[in-house]
Amino acid sequence: MLFLGIIPLHLSAQEDWENDGEIEDVQIEIVKDREIKLPQANRNFEKIPPINTEVGRGSIEYFYNNINFDLPDLNVRMRPLRIKDEKLSKLYGNYVKAGFGNYTTPYVEGFFNSKRSKERSYGAHFNYLNSSKGPVDGKNSGSGRLDIDLFGKYFTPKVTLSGDAGFNQRSYHFYGYPENQEVNEDTLKQYFNNYYLKGSLENTDKKSDFRYTLGFQLDHLKDNRDASESEGQINLNTEYALSDEAFVRLIGDVDVITRKDNLIDDQTRNLFRIRPSFGFGYEGFRLEAGFNAVYENDTLGDSDKMHFYPIARASYPFTESMELYAGIGGDIHKNTLRTLSEENPYINDNIGIYHTNKTFDLYGGMQAKLSSKLGFGAGFSAANYKNMYFFVNAPEDQSKFEVIYDTGNTTVLNIFAQLSFNNAEQFRITARGDYWGYGTDNIDEPWHKPNYKVSSLASYNLYGKFIFTAEAYAIGGIRALDMDTGETVKLDALFDLNFKTDYLISDQVSVFLQFNNIFGKEYELFYHYPSRSLQFMAGLTYSF
């Protein structure tokens, strides 16, 4: 209705625009007064019948037109890229090193090794270091060392054969006598000559589930005071992988030790050890359990019998960079004239030598990789020993040491921590600290055993020309027994700092300068035996 009323107005207005060209002001009134009514429609409920149609299936024809493109022949000239074989750098497997230091100390050392080979490796080592003077009365406290070693290995796809033969001599003087005492220089000399022969057969087939190492070692030690000792040992270490997570392991060794001295006839001691165990992995844990059976025929304490010790160890990766571990065990610690003289070269003649029985050992700790360059470890050990040995000055001669044993129970607590840092072979540093606490039964103090030790070793490579090496360690808590007064003497804590620098003149020639005991403290590791003060040495190294 509205639309119909508007149409006449629109037409009239259009005529006026055409005549006058102007739009006049008008008032429009629209009146809605008309109602439109439609008649009622009738609904048709009849269904419309379907229309029958026949669908014709016409045939469809496809036409394939072959389109041929004639392309010119493509002649590709390929030039393979050839990489030149990288030339192996020259290997300097041999070197000779020589130097001279204060206390009249000549030094000569040499390594001679075979060049690159997939089948064999062999070589020789020679070392001579001798200080004719020492901290007390010049030549009366000199010491030295001589080493000659021949070694070799032969590799096959299945096994590796290795052998080692050599000789070493360690010379000392008993200079711990009282001050201003007249002595016979010839009676002060002491040396130990040791001849040895080693060999081993090892399975190196990486595809084999069975791994083994069979070895032997022969040692013959003789000093200049009618003491001698021969030792033969055979050891076997086997492991069979049951799966990727399980294995069985068998470790065994046999030792036969024969010794004589000027008051001791031939004395033979036997030691036989067998240690079977089973290990497996479970939900991140690595577990190993078994037992250690040891037979020994010493004549001190619970000897000449079979000892059984349970063994168990468990480890767990607490995080991707940290592993925790704990275990229990026990063993017989082998003591010989060779091992005791290496720890204390000033031991007396005809000393008693017996094995130490570690009846129980509970230990644990953690290992962590704090970063790609930094590693850390810490742990503890609480152990009980029988027949643990200690050193005391001999009553008739304070310059010599007797070996005494605690036939009761000796408890030892050890707590340690260590740290290592390695920066792309340019800077390295390792540090470790140990604390030991002792509890003894049949002796008053753990004579000549330290309560703590802190050590550190660092090296720095500057521009590939200078190599600086520093070593520092501190040891304290050592107690000694004064045989004249019967009183306990606490030795002063020692701190030692050593420094060495190498300058590489070329790939073959370098010079070195070395300082030991920089602070010059004549500390004592053994009662009445002060060490040398500041020591320095300069020398040359030649590689070929």
Output the DSSP codes for 203-257: E--TT-SEEEEEEEEEEEEEESSS-EEEEEEEEEEEEEESSSSEEEEEEEEEEEE
What's the Rg (C-alpha) of the chain?
Answer: 45
With beta carbons less than 8 A apart as the criterion, state whether 510 and 502 touch.
yes
* C-alpha 420 chain-centroid distance: 10
If residue 401 lies in a helix (H) or strand (E), which one and from where to where?
Answer: strand 401-423
Nearest one of 529, 528, 531, 503 to 519, comparing CA atoms:
531
With beta carbons less than 8 A apart as the criterion, state whether 431 and 415 touch.
no
Sequence-distant (6+) residues with CB within 8 A of 407 are 300, 301, 386, 387, 441, 442
Q: In angstroms, rounded to a whole number, what is the distance separating the alpha carbons of residues 93 and 160?
A: 21
Which two structure tokens, joined as six digits, stand for 435?
């604390």
DSSP letters spanning 254-307: EEEEEEE-SS---EEEEEEEEEEEEEEEETTEEEEEEEEEEEE--SSSS-SEEE
Segments making up each domain of the chain, as ranges: 95-543
Instruction: Judge: domain 95-543, CATH 2.40.170.20.
Output: yes
pLDDT of residue 116: 79
Record the pTM.
Answer: 0.81
pLDDT of residue 206: 86
If residue 3 lies in a helix (H) or strand (E), which one and from where to where?
Answer: helix 2-20
Residue 10, beta-bridge partner list: none
pLDDT of residue 516: 97
Nearest one of 268, 248, 245, 247 to 257, comparing CA atoms:
268
pLDDT of residue 425: 79
What averages of pLDDT result for each successive group of 10 residues across the chain (544 residues)? 38 42 51 53 50 46 42 47 55 89 97 89 97 96 97 95 97 95 92 98 93 98 95 97 96 97 91 97 95 91 81 95 97 97 96 95 96 95 97 96 96 98 91 98 96 97 95 97 94 96 95 97 96 97 94
Q: In angstroms, rounded to a whole number, what is the distance separating the alpha carbons of residues 215 and 202?
A: 8
Q: In angstroms, rounded to a whole number, what is the distance separating the alpha carbons of residues 526 and 402?
A: 12
Q: In angstroms, rounded to a whole number, what is the distance separating the alpha carbons of residues 207 and 210?
A: 9
**What's the angle, vertex CA 346, arms to CA 340 and CA 348, rounded to 5?**
80
With beta carbons less than 8 A apart as the criterion, state whether 504 and 483 touch.
no
Q: What is the DSSP letter of 139?
A: G
